[in-house]
Amino acid sequence: MKFDKPANDNPIDQLKVVGRAHDRIDGPLKTTGTAHYAYEWHDVVPDVAYGYVVGSSIAKGRINAIDSRAARRAPGVITIVTADNAGRLGKGEMNAATLLGGPDIQHYHQAIAVVVAETFEQARAAAALIQVDYRRERGAWDLAKEKPAAKPDESDPGKKTGDFASAFAASPVKLDALYTTPDQSHMAMEPHASMAAWDGDKLTVWTSNQMINWCRNELAKTLNLPVEKVRVLSPYIGGGFGGKLFLRSDAVLAALGARAAKRPVKIMLPRPLIPNNTTHRPATIQHIRIGADQAGHITAIAHESWSGNLPDGKSETAVQQTELLYAGANRLTGLRLARLDLPEGNAMRAPGEAPGLMALEIAIDEMAEKVGMDPIAFRILNDTQVDPSNPDRPFSRRQLIECLRTGAEHFGWNRRNARPAQVRDGRWLTGMGVAAGFRNNLVMKSGARVHLDSKGIVTVETDMTDIGTGSYTIIAQTAAEMLGVPLENVVVRLGDSDFPVSAGSGGQWGANSSTAGVYAACVRLRETVAKKLGFDPDEAIFIDKQVRAGGQSIPLTEAAASGILTAEDTIEFAGLEEKYQQSTFAGHFIEVGVDIATGEVRVRRMLAVCAAGRILNPKTARSQVIGAMTMGVGAALMEELAVDTRLGYFVNHDLAAYEVPVHADIPDQEVIFLDDTDPVSSPMKAKGVGELGLCGVSAAIANAIYNATGVRVRDYPITLDKLLKGLPTLT
């Protein structure tokens, strides 16, 4: 099915199941421990062995020799795989580094060997016996130091509209400032894990991966196999945040280990290995310049960002929201990429917009202060209903002003004192902050297969994944709505490459695209059922387990009385993205308290007002947003992968030292969804929301801290040392 125009008479608009709050149908499986995660397929294949990955102990250089003799003699050891005996390997298109290093080392903790043994403990003990002789080389590990040598990112060179330089020079009000964001880690609760089994020349991998088809294709390329010889399964994922978008070393080494051991092998990356062995959000240095007239209209805006990566890596696209969020005739954006020998930088929840808004939305507050305007009024004044660089391309829906006004009224913004450091609550300085949220609405081709049996049970099959977001539930809601059955009559099967290829979970495109794919398959099945019952498919109505048309009503089950009916289709998006800019918007409101003596920051209240298309399930959508808001607290106040710029690695590479928010850090969180049904986005009229909930939160916290203390911090995270010197005198 091609989606190239808004659909009329859309059965999804009945909203008997879709759009209503439902508990996650996979919840009971997860809370009872019967949902199998990647490392828990204990009874699928017999005689499973365990692999333990050895990571490089240098960050750049070359392996002279690996001595594995003692390890091979250790109890329980079956085999050891290194680059020397793994055979010829290919390299996928989505990895900047090779997933089995040697002899060249590209980054610290790059996998260089896997030890396979009868038990996990035996594999771990033997791995400690491996001796590696390295030739260490000096690498580039400091973004600030390498910034002057950074080059424009050829894959995303940026955009120019009008004459920024002249307009900025002529602006009576100017801001010219640098902002920095640090390297960050996904730190998903479930570690990267895989189990691999060979049946002749056919490989099956149970893994934790957000994009089944990407993983399958990349694994086939890496192992030099025909793609049809590879099957990937990932029905339950314990969090990913982008860290499991791509094939990683656990899956490759499980496959190599299983081939060498001639038996199934399972591997889990230990927590201390994950931040350096997998991917992370790259640090940025962002230069923002804004010019405005005395009335507050933006006349010139420039946003340039520097980030680093391995030679085959890409930039953190931190400027993309600035291309679309505010008006201004003269514009300049650009990305610069420095070569760094740190582990690969890649997607982390809301790549681009999350770190970009951490800088931009502080800058917007600073400009509002310079022109003497309330920060909400300044944002509203500079709103745009069209792509600023292409006025002929309007937004399909844009309710940023409504998000800000609704949030201001609900949060009590009128009680905010515009002068910083004026409000005290005992020893606490209190303040409020705001930021706009923005995330583009991306859509992806997505397919599904739907079955109807004689009992009226509808089974949906698609390789879509659920990373804790509620995919099972919204897919079931879609099928139930389309075929007129209760939710309990729908069975959803996900995460298997034998199923039709879906959008996968990433980029905030998963919910909208995958349910649209299920919609397309259900349209096909409706046609089959209607014809089977002698109805005109265009007139048939599916409701209450019945099919009705022309004054007749026949039970749905009769259509499948003689056997299961099956239909399959794929949604393809064509054309509308050229006519319309599709984006999602939010207003984030924060109240903080800052201890006047210690600089301790406590977030007191949080509100997100979101305009993100039709909300398919308000309960699961709210969970996504409050989880994202929590990540925003972490990014603002604590999260940072500390780089050892002498030896080239992330020092705090575990959950003991990499700080993330805990329950005690998170106050009351409130989420308001505006009615934003968007017929241009898909047949579902939905958009994404899981990343929008993060975009802007950290800047709102920074702005609230400034309002509370008068201390403007432009370098994240906002730690005590950055506040103490500027705090008002304790009285």
For position 420, what pLDDT does the model report?
A: 98
Strand partners, 308: 338
Assess contact for 641 and 275: CB atoms under 8 A: yes
In eight-state DSSP terms, residue 192 is P
pLDDT above 70 (res 731): no
What is the spatial distance between Cα 146 and Cα 340, in angstroms, rounded to a whole number? 8
Residue closest to 570 by CA, chosen among 444, 424, 458: 444
For position 625, what pLDDT does the model report?
A: 98
190-235 per-position pLDDT tens digit: 999 999 999 999 999 999 999 999 999 999 999 999 999 999 999 9
Going by C-beta distance under 8 Å and a sequence separation of 6 or more, which residues neighbour residue 20? 477, 617, 618
Assess contact for 388 and 324: CB atoms under 8 A: yes
Across the range 649-653, mean pLDDT stands at 98
The sign of the dihedral angle between the CA atoms of 640, 247, 53, 231 is positive
The rounded percent of the chain whose pLDDT value lies above 90 is 97
What is the spatial distance between Cα 282 and Cα 259, in angstroms, rounded to a whole number? 35
What is the spatial distance between Cα 583 and Cα 688, in angstroms, rounded to a whole number? 9
Domain 352-441+582-726: give its CATH code. Answer: 3.30.365.10
pLDDT above 80 (res 7): no
> Which residue ranges make up each domain of the chain?
2-35+443-577, 352-441+582-726
* Fold agreement between 2-35+443-577 and 352-441+582-726: yes
CA-to-CA separations, 611 to 321, 397, 621, 633, in angstroms, rounded: 16, 9, 12, 21
Assess contact for 273 and 152: CB atoms under 8 A: no
Residue closest to 95 by CA, chosen among 266, 339, 347: 347
Task: For residue 277, name the pLDDT band (cuts at 50, 70, 90).
Answer: very high
Across the range 250-260, mean pLDDT stands at 98
Across the range 306-327, mean pLDDT stands at 97
Assess contact for 352 and 317: CB atoms under 8 A: yes
Active site amino acids? 691
What is the spatial distance between Cα 702 and Cα 383, in angstroms, rounded to a whole number? 22
For position 101, what pLDDT does the model report?
A: 97
pLDDT above 90 (res 624): yes
507-551 per-position pLDDT tens digit: 999 999 999 999 999 999 999 999 999 999 999 999 999 999 999
Q: What is the mean pLDDT of the chain?
A: 97
56-101 per-position pLDDT tens digit: 999 999 999 999 999 999 999 999 999 999 999 999 999 999 999 9
Domain 2-35+443-577: give its CATH code. Answer: 3.30.365.10
pTM for the predicted model, two decimal places: 0.98
pLDDT above 80 (res 730): no
For position 305, what pLDDT does the model report?
A: 98
Q: What is the strand order of the sheet 552-555 is part of? A: 541-543, 546-549, 552-555
Going by C-beta distance under 8 Å and a sequence separation of 6 or more, which residues neighbour residue 299? 167, 168, 170, 171, 291, 292, 293, 328, 329, 330
For position 154, what pLDDT does the model report?
A: 83
